[in-house]
Amino acid sequence: MTQQSVELFQLIMYTPTFILGLPFNVMALSFLFFPAKKLSESTVYLIALIFLDTLLLFTLPFKIISYRRENKWNLGSMFCSILESLYFINMYGSILISLCICVDRYIAIQHPFMAPALRSPKKAALVCAVICLGISAGTVSTSQLHEVSYNISSCFHNFSKRTWENTGLIITLEMIFFGSMVAMAFCTVQIIRCLRNHRKSENPQTHMTRAEKVVVTNFVTFLVCFTPYHVTFFLYFLVRNSIMHIPCHTVLRDILQVTLCWANLNCCLDAVCYYFVLKESAEGSLRNKVRNHPEESFDRHTEH
pLDDT in tens, 271-290: 787 777 776 665 555 455 44
Report yes or no on whether pTM surpasses 0.95: no
Query: Is the Cβ–Cβ distance between 169 and 141 less than 8 Å?
Result: yes
Instruction: Please give the single-letter amino acid code of residue 219.
Output: F
State how far the Cα of 123 lies from the Cα of 103, in Å rounded to an integer: 13
Which tops the pLDDT comparison, 115 or 125?
125
Q: What's the pLDDT at 8?
A: 82
All domains of the chain in start order, with CATH: 3-284 (1.20.1070.10)
Measured between alpha carbons, how far is 177 from 248 in angstroms, rounded to an integer? 27
User: 300 pLDDT band (50/70/90 cuts)?
Assistant: very low
What pLDDT shows up at residue 181?
A: 96
Count the Cβ atoms, other than its own, within 10 Å of residue 279. 14
For residue 194, give the nearest of 107, 116, 113 by alpha carbon. 107
Q: Which residues contact 236 (CB under 8 A, 6 or more apart)?
A: 249, 252, 253, 256
Contact between 81 and 154 (Cβ < 8 Å): no
| 201: exposed, middle or buried (Cβ count in 10 Å: 0-12, 13-18, 19+) | exposed
Taking only the tens place, the pLDDT of each residue in 175-209 is 999 999 999 999 999 998 888 877 655 455 555 56
CB crowding 93-118: b at 16 or more within 10 Å, else e: bbbbbbbbbbbbbbbbbeeeeebeee
pLDDT on residue 205:
54
C-alpha 14: how far from chain center? 15
